[in-house]
Amino acid sequence: RRKVILDTDPGVDDAMALLFLHFAPDVELVGITTASGNGLIATTTHNARYLAETFGITVPVAQGQGPSLDGVVGEAPVYVHGRNALGNVPEPARLNRALDPRPAHRFIIDMLRASPGEITLIAIGRMTNLALALREDPAIASFAKQVIIMGGAFGTNGVLGNVTPAAEANFAGDPRAADEVVGAAWPVTVVGLDVTTRTMMNDAWLARLRDRGGPASKFIWDVTRFYMDFHHRRLGLDAIYVNDSSAVAFFLDPSLFSVRRGAIRVVTEGIAAGESILKPAGRRFPANGWDGRPDQAACIDVDSERLKALYARTL
Ligand code: BDR
Ligand code: CA
């Protein structure tokens, strides 16, 4: 079975991605680490424990660092994911599931060192924990099997950002961490808005999932009500984007995607902070900060119908 750690900020679409991974055959989820983003770190960690407890996911949950590498806490986007970051669906205040005593980045280091070359990291929140792990123990870059990130955008679908005109939320929330993670010598695939905005689930689709699936599918229906409303009201859409589950889909079946290879940088400061840029592999420029950075993969197209069929089948 293929081992994976999910670094996540649940989050409505994070919950959908976690359940997708949990039910996938031949996958062994070996840990959940939490990031801030859709809620403050206490909220996203509570939600991760709640999801694990509710759906019988018996792996360690390790809490990540709240502030970005540059010390920015940021505000929770309550108008997107609700006050509790799970679409305002009520949760118990008290949970039984204990937290792993280690901070998320230490947990990641220990797990990678214990199973060299075996573990895939899927990061669907800010990249803070992955960057901290690299800073503390740079050698782990050679211990990860691969790193799959939901974040960024390269403009191939006409979109550069969703929180600013230039930047996607996970990269904008900790741009320095994103730049360090895509610049490290491990194989990274960026699953950004280029592809996540090409796959959408509408109410008819989600209702079919609810009616044909088990408790997890019913839960997905409930938590997506507020998120759907945000897509209606703020974006004028009649369906939700499939952000985080697209990163899980890449892990399960990379043949769903087309990728472009090249060195990637993320703008760390200023008006375009969080913007991601790809230098096509093999192209040379007279002066740049891309030299010496590894070529990575950026997803630029996806077979959405097959992706959604995989999601429905798995749930
Ligand atoms: C990303 O930001 C969060 O709102 C989502 O959970 C997703 O990870 C999309 O930009
Ligand atoms: Ca997320």
Please state, in angstroms and rounded to a whole number, the distance separating the CA atoms of residues 255 and 249. 10
Atom of ligand 1 nearest to the CA of 77: 4
Cα distance between residue 300 and residue 172, in whole Å: 20
Question: Has residue 104 got a pLDDT over 90?
Answer: yes
Q: Which ligand is nearest to the CA of 243?
A: 1
What is the tens place of the pLDDT at every residue in 170-180?
999 999 999 99
pTM of the predicted model over 0.80: yes
Ramachandran sector of residue 95 (left: φ over 0; alpha: ψ -120 to 50; beta: rest): beta
Burial letters 148-173, b for 16+ CB under 10 A, else e: bbbbbbbbbbebbbbbeebbbbbbbb
Residue 286 C-alpha to ligand 2 middle, in angstroms? 37
Q: What is the mean pLDDT of residues 25-33?
A: 98
CA of 84 to the centre of ligand 1 (A): 15
Region for residue 308 given its phi and psi (left: phi exceeds 0; alpha: psi -120 to 50; beta: otherwise): alpha
Q: What mean pLDDT comes out for the span 267-295?
A: 92
**Rounded Cα–Cα distance for residues 275 and 169 (Å):** 10
| Cα–chain center distance at 116 | 22
User: Strand 239-241 vs strand 200-202: parallel, antiparallel, or unpaired?
Assistant: antiparallel
What residues are in contact with ligand 1 under a 6 Å CB criterion? 11, 13-14, 37-38, 124-125, 150, 162, 168-170, 243-244
Please give the single-letter amino acid code of residue 37.
Answer: G
Q: What is the pLDDT of residue 181?
A: 98
Which atom of ligand 1 is nearest the CA belonging to 9?
6
Q: Which atom of ligand 1 is nearest to the CA of 80?
A: 4
User: Residue 203, exposed/middle/buried by CB under 10 A (0-12, 13-18, 19+)?
Assistant: middle
Ligand 1 atom, smallest distance to 168 CA: 10
> How far does the centroid of ligand 1 lie from the alpha carbon of residue 80, in Å?
10
Q: E strands, 67-172, where?
A: 119-123, 144-150
Query: What integer pLDDT is reported at residue 74 of this predicted model?
Result: 87
Is residue 299's pLDDT more than 90?
yes
**39 alpha carbon – ligand 2 mean position (Å):** 10
Q: What is the pLDDT of residues 193-203, one digit of tens each?
A: 999 999 999 99
ipTM greater than cut 0.90:
yes
Q: Give the pLDDT band of residue 162 (cuts 50, 70, 90).
A: very high
Q: How far is CA 6 from CA 32, 120, 183, 265, in A?
A: 5, 9, 20, 23
Rounded to whole angstroms, the Cα distance separating 270 from 283 reads 26
Tell me which residue has its CA closest to atom 10 in ligand 1. Answer: 169
Q: Which amino acid would we find at residue 56?
A: G
Distance 75 CA to ligand 1 centre (A): 14
